[in-house]
Each structure stands twice: as C-alpha cells, then as structure tokens.
Amino acid sequence: MHAPVVTTGRDLRLDLFRGIALWLIFLDHIPSNVVSWITIRNYGFSDATEIFIFISGYTAAFVYGRAMRERGFVVSGARILRRAWQIYVAHIFLFAIYMAEISYVATSFDNPLYAEEMNILDFLKQPDMTIVQALLLKFKPVNMDILPLYIILLLLFPPILWLLQRWPTLALGASFALYVLAWQFGWNLPAYPDGTWYFNPFAWQLLFVFGAWCAIGGAKRLAPILQSPVTMAIAILYLGFAFVIALSWHLPEQTSIVPHWLEDLIYPIDKTNLDVLRFAHFLALAVLTVRFVPRTWPMLNAWILYPAILCGQHSLEIFCLGVFLAFAGHFALVEISGAFWMQVVISLSGIVAMIATAALVTWYKELEGRSPGSRSKPPDADLAGGEA
C-alpha cells in the first residue's frame, strides 16, 4: 500500500469557500436584490456555481477516495449512491415548495398587465405532467438546476473515482475529452418543456472531475505552476480583463469600450456549457486564492470566519435552505415591501438563518456521532458524514 495521497485533517479553506459560495448563491437567487451587487458574478465571468461544483468534486474525492482505498469499490460506490439519493430527495422537497408558491401566485395575482405571464405559467399547474417531469429531473424550475447536476455527477462518480485513483491523468484527460466532444457535437440532456439542461452535465463534469483530481494529488503536482510568478501575472491580467468586460455590462453608455471584434470573439459567454472563459476565470481566482490563503492561514481558526466554515461543512442542507430562503425572501419582498432596507434585511437574515441551521445540524451530528455504541468514525467525521 502506498501512503495516503491526501493529507489527513480537514482543509478548512474548502469549507470556508464553499460556505461563502453558498451565501453568494443565496444572494444571487433573490431577484432584484441590491445586496447581490457584492457577488463575484458582477466582477468577472464565473460565479459562485463554479466554486461550489469544484469544491464539491474536491471533497467528494477526498471523502470517498479514502473510503475506496480502505473499504473497496463496492462500499464507497454504495455510499456515493446513497448520497445521490439524499440529494434527489432534497431536490424533490424543494420542488414541492416551489409548486406551492407558483400555484399561489398564479391564482392570487390577477393583474391584467401580466395576463401573458400568468397564462403561460398555467402549464406549470398541470401536475400530471410537471410532477412526473420533475421526478425525471427534466423539469427544473428557476434556481433549481444545481442539485440535478450534482445528482448526475455523483451517480457517475464511482467509476470516475476508481479511474482517478489508478490513472489520474488519464481520468482528467477523459473528462476534458468529454467536455470538448460535448462542445463539438452539442451534447446535453433534454429538459421539459423545452430545451436542455441549464447546467450541461457533459460540460460541467470537467470542473467536478478537476476538483477531484486536485484532491487526489493533482494540487501537489500543480504546486510549482501555481507558485510561479508568471502564472500569477497571467491570472491577475486575466481577472483584470474580465473585470473590464463585466464593467461594460453594467454601464450601458460605455459598451463602446469593448471593440466589435472582441465582442464577436468572446460572446456569448455560455454558462450552460461552462464556457472556457468562465472556466479560465475560475482557475485565475483559484490561483490567487491558493497563493494568498495558505492552508495554515491563522485566520481560518478565527471566530469571524467560523460561520462560513460551518455552512460549508453542511453544504447540502444549507444549499437547500438557501434555495428555499430565496423563494421566501422574494415572496416577502413582493408581499410586504421591496424597499432597499428590506432587501438588506432579507439578505442578512437569510444568511443568519443559514448559519443557525448549520450550527443546529452540527449539533445533531454530534449527538449521533457521540452516542455510545455508534460506529467509530475518523476524526473528520462531519466531512465524511456525507458533506461531499
């Protein structure tokens, strides 16, 4: 047996940045929210989704990779599939809440100005079709696209992980090849009632597998490249470029700062298929992060970052809660007041609710983990307890 390829003990940076990503996703999911101006999607190409998927791939490999080495393919594969099932159930639960909201709004809101919107939304009220399509993961309401992607990625993860542990470069190469082929041939899964998946699993798997590859020793191999000043310079230049382009989206008069040939070259920046520009933007952010936030960064143990770390450690619960809170928050903005202060209050109280829930989940897990006769768990049981 070879020595463990990943260092033991939790890399708190993963929890920290996943927690922050969950907050940002929540803020972005509340429509017309002033506070969402602070989120990274306004300052470059990529957004919190990239961070979330990458870290999810990283932790999945970290947690289940050890299980696969210690207990074999079948056991770890079974655990991965159980995790996929949990996420599926969570997704359907969110869908039920969504249907409740939409039925209420479509019935109670009778403004003639919006007759068209309401008429077409009526198709959503046909439970015979929509519920079946939702169970098949074909019908995915707004803001509910990430979990189905995650489910597919986990379903396919056992063989990927197996390959990653034997021939990591080959696995990453295959993932990249699939990404290229999906772009080349326009592969995607069908959606209901029209179109295809908002997050194309054939494209987004690259980020997930790349995260897993990094966890299985890739990060160490990349270290010389990551530390080089040339890489740093390229990353900073690229982030600056993305920032200028992003600026042009928000200042209509200044659209002329981007020449036509450049527009033709970079647009459309395709989120569905994980545009290369987005992927590169995420990589550039990651390069800076790894450089300036070392694993041993003292602040990682500071109380001020603890809430984000806590949320990142229970990503499924907190992600689902965030989707629900975004619905509920928007509902409150519509029914009570959409004023500026209200948007700030909703945003802040949502994040507080996420932190409180994460603390509660930790407490529950401690109860279960510490009870006598429970199976022995590795020291970072919380992470291994399924927060992949």
Residues that bind other proteins (CB under 8 A): 29-32, 98, 101-102, 105, 108-117, 119-121, 124, 141-143, 191, 193-196, 198, 249, 252-253, 255, 260, 263-264, 267-268, 270-272, 326-327, 330-331, 333-334, 338
Shortest CB 267 distance to other proteins, Å: 6
Shortest CB 47 distance to other proteins, Å: 12
Shortest CB 107 distance to other proteins, Å: 11
User: DSSP readout, 127-183?
Assistant: HHHHHHHHHTT----TT--HHHHHHHHHHTHHHHHHHHHH-HHHHHHHHHHHHHHHH
Nearer to other proteins, 121 or 163 (CB): 121
Nearer to other proteins, 245 or 384 (CB): 245
Nearer to other proteins, 92 or 189 (CB): 189
Phi-psi domain of 267 (left: phi exceeds 0; alpha: psi -120 through 50; beta: other): beta
Nearer to other proteins, 263 or 368 (CB): 263
Alpha-carbon dihedral angle through residues 303, 305, 310, 311, given to the nearest 10 degrees: 150
Nearer to other proteins, 256 or 376 (CB): 256
Give yes or no for a contact between 308 and 24, defined as CB atoms under 8 angstroms apart. no
Nearer to other proteins, 60 or 245 (CB): 245
Q: Which helix (H) or strand (E) holds 277?
A: helix 276-292
Helices and strands (H, E) in the chain, number of each type: 16, 0
Nearer to other proteins, 338 or 385 (CB): 338
Shortest CB 265 distance to other proteins, Å: 12
Shortest CB 312 distance to other proteins, Å: 25
Nearer to other proteins, 261 or 303 (CB): 261
Shortest CB 217 distance to other proteins, Å: 37
Shortest CB 95 distance to other proteins, Å: 13
Q: Compute the C-alpha angle 190/193/196, nearest 5°.
A: 25
Q: Residues 6 or more apart from 99 whose CB is under 8 A from it?
A: 124, 127, 130, 131
Q: Sign (positive/negative) of CA torsion 35, 300, 308, 290?
A: positive
User: What gap in Å lies between CA 302 and CA 293, rounded to an integer?
Assistant: 14
Instruction: Give the C-alpha distances (Å, rounded to integers) separating 324 from 43, 91, 122, 167, 331.
Output: 26, 11, 22, 40, 11
Give yes or no for a contact between 52 and 21, defined as CB atoms under 8 angstroms apart. yes
Give yes or no for a contact between 147 and 90, defined as CB atoms under 8 angstroms apart. yes
User: What gap in Å lies between CA 190 and CA 52, rounded to an integer?
Assistant: 24
Shortest CB 196 distance to other proteins, Å: 5
Shortest CB 112 distance to other proteins, Å: 4
Burial of 260: CB neighbours in 10 Å, binned 0-12, 13-18, 19+: exposed
User: What gap in Å lies between CA 161 and CA 76, rounded to an integer?
Assistant: 10
User: What gap in Å lies between CA 197 and CA 208, rounded to an integer?
Assistant: 17
Q: Which residues pair with residue 196 across a beta bridge? A: 190
Show the tokens assigned to 257: 């700062």
Shortest CB 204 distance to other proteins, Å: 16
Shortest CB 272 distance to other proteins, Å: 7
User: What gap in Å lies between CA 34 and CA 282, rounded to an integer?
Assistant: 24
